[in-house]
Amino acid sequence: MRASEVTKSLNALVSKKVPTFLWGAPGIGKSSIVKQIAKEKGVDFIDLRLALMDPTDLKGIPFYDKESHSALWAPPAFLPREGEGILFLDELNSAAPAVQSSAYQLILDRRIGEYVLPEGWAIVAAGNRDGDRGVTYRMPAPLANRFVHFELDVSVDDWREWAYKKSIDSRIIAYISYKNEHLFTFDAKVQAKSFATPRSWEYVHNILQADVEKELLLDVLSGAVGREVAVGFLSFVKVMDKLPDITMIMLGKSEEYPEEIDVLYALSSGIVSRYLQDPSDTALEHILEYTLDLKSEFAVLIVQDLQKNGVTMEHSQNFKAWVKKFAYLLA
């Protein structure tokens, strides 16, 4: 399932407190999706890395109660006591079998030892697939049957929508738009230390903001996304020098229309990113006017990306002309 589809499904099931398990390759944003759902719902979020725990970490430590003359379990402080939220059990299938067994009762009965999970809390778990070169243990059938399972796929369209909202460097968005297959290059059969994933492209964004010396940039980026992808990205970045002045486009003063496909991808992402940073009705009118003479597929790409990011344009006179010209592509 695409990230957008998983998000909608998880939203519904979290509200009903149905335990869910999110499967997927490393670095594709499993934990980010769950954390974002909690943020949008305005509830708490607790991330437990079960692979780092012992069985007693989850169940607690037994102690002797003098009044009842019996052994009781002191639950760990990191488990929630009140309110609403999502208890995220990350890397569940990377945890030792004894730890997974400790999670049985918590997941099914919402309690473990003396501890009871508050009514307002939902349980979501996640893990890498068995063939993803991670340390995993086959999940026992009784535990697997306690979840509704989703497998997260990588979607360029979903990633681009996320990247615009996160103000990811427009050069990265442009490159992935041009070279879709470089969003995710993980291959479980190849023993590469670095490979491109949605997570590592976010690292690239941070690297570009870090003022790394120019002569070191290729090696640093290679450490994030691999050598081949880093070379391709830096070669693409040189295309940005061929772009028309986006500021002039937003002021309605540009008449330049590039023909090269890579330049057009860079221009499209650059226009969308710039507008989202400084939106105005005047700039929108000028952008729509400019796209009327742009290659049709890129005119549509710009408008659709703006709309996906919440930009309304039905009130615009230029949008009426735009729809009239490109309606055949929207059918």
pLDDT in tens, 83-112: 999 999 988 888 888 888 778 788 888 888
Q: Do 132 and 213 fall into the same domain?
A: no
pLDDT of residue 77: 82
Q: Do 183 and 323 fall into the same domain?
A: yes
Are 316 and 288 in contact, with CB atoms under 8 Å apart?
yes
Report the half-sphere exposure of 205 (CA within 13 A, side-chain side): 17
Q: Do 178 and 80 fall into the same domain?
A: no
Neighbours of 248 (CB within 10 A): 14
Could you give the residue ranges of the DSSP H alpha helices within 179-226? Answer: 198-208, 214-225
Q: Do 277 and 213 fall into the same domain?
A: yes
Report the half-sphere exposure of 57 (CA within 13 A, side-chain side): 13
Classify 226 in phi/psi space as left (phi over 0), alpha (psi -120 to 50) or beta.
left
**SS percent in the chain: helix, strand, coil, step 5:** 55, 15, 35
Are 6 and 165 in contact, with CB atoms under 8 Å apart?
no
- Among residues 151, 177, 198, the one where a domain terminates is 151
DSSP state of 140: P
pLDDT of residue 132: 64
pLDDT of residue 237: 92
Q: Do 103 and 178 fall into the same domain?
A: no
d(CA 12, CA 191) in angstroms, rounded, equals 38
CATH of the domain at 28: 3.40.50.300
Q: Do 100 and 181 fall into the same domain?
A: no
pLDDT of residue 51: 82
What six digits make up the tokens of 93?
A: 């299938």
pTM over 0.95: no
pLDDT of residue 311: 93
Report the candidate in 65, 17, 10, 19 with the shortest Cα–Cα distance to residue 40: 10
Q: Do 9 and 143 fall into the same domain?
A: yes
Range of the domain at 247: 156-330
- Among residues 151, 180, 215, the one where a domain terminates is 151
Q: Do 62 and 146 fall into the same domain?
A: yes
Q: Which of 200-233 are b and which e, b meaning 16 or more Cβ less than 10 Å from the residue's Cβ? A: bbbbbbebbeeeeeeeebeebbbebbbeebbebb
pLDDT of residue 99: 83
Are 207 and 172 in contact, with CB atoms under 8 Å apart?
no
Residue 198, phi then psi, degrees to nearest 5: -55, -40
- Among residues 126, 151, 176, the one where a domain terminates is 151
pLDDT of residue 255: 80
Report the half-sphere exposure of 11 (CA within 13 A, side-chain side): 13
| Domains contained in the chain, number | 2
Q: Do 187 and 297 fall into the same domain?
A: yes
Are 237 and 207 in contact, with CB atoms under 8 Å apart?
no
List, for the chain, all residue ranges whose pLDDT scores fall below the cut of 70.
131-135, 330-331
Q: Do 168 and 189 fall into the same domain?
A: yes
pLDDT of residue 50: 84
Q: Residue 190, class by beta-carbon neighbours within 10 Å (0-12 exposed, 13-18 middle, 19+ buried)?
A: exposed
Q: Do 167 and 311 fall into the same domain?
A: yes
CA angle 208–210–215, rounded 5-degree value? 70
Q: Do 210 and 147 fall into the same domain?
A: no
pLDDT of residue 209: 93
pLDDT of residue 135: 65
